[in-house]
Amino acid sequence: MNMDVNTENPFVQALVVSTTMAVFMIGVAFGLMSMAREGSTPVPMAVMLLIFAVIFIAGSVFFESRGADYMGSLVGGAIISLVATFSATAFFSGVRFAIGGGITEIGSDQVVSALAVCMIASMLLIRVLQHKFSNVF
């Protein structure tokens, strides 16, 4: 049986992107719940610092290549890396929470409902960003 997936299909693209974003959103939500309950994160501080450093450098170079001055590129890189580090830490905490029995604790109906709501929210976010940046790129 040969199963070819057509990546050019806009329906498949939208479904894959919105589902991926929804799973990430739920992972972050689980991570926030886990961090609030435990008061800490399972991600070591050294790993969080490494994530911050890599994204800080990439973000600073990105903003500088877009025409920002040195201070603006550093501030932009710092903001992007702070948000990305927090999101990654929350996501990995959420994955650990889900593997550790968090899904059964919350209930599968609530998780499926959250997935549906996050898929809708991610699709709306994608369309708004596409419309906003249609003239820029």
- Average pLDDT score, the chain: 87
Residue 96 has pLDDT above 80, yes or no: yes
**SS3 call for 16:** helix
Give residue limits of the domains in the chain.
42-105, 107-136
pTM (2 decimals)? 0.77
Measured distance CA(28)–CA(20) in Å, rounded: 12
What is the number of other CB atoms lying within 10 angstroms of the CB of residue 34?
A: 22
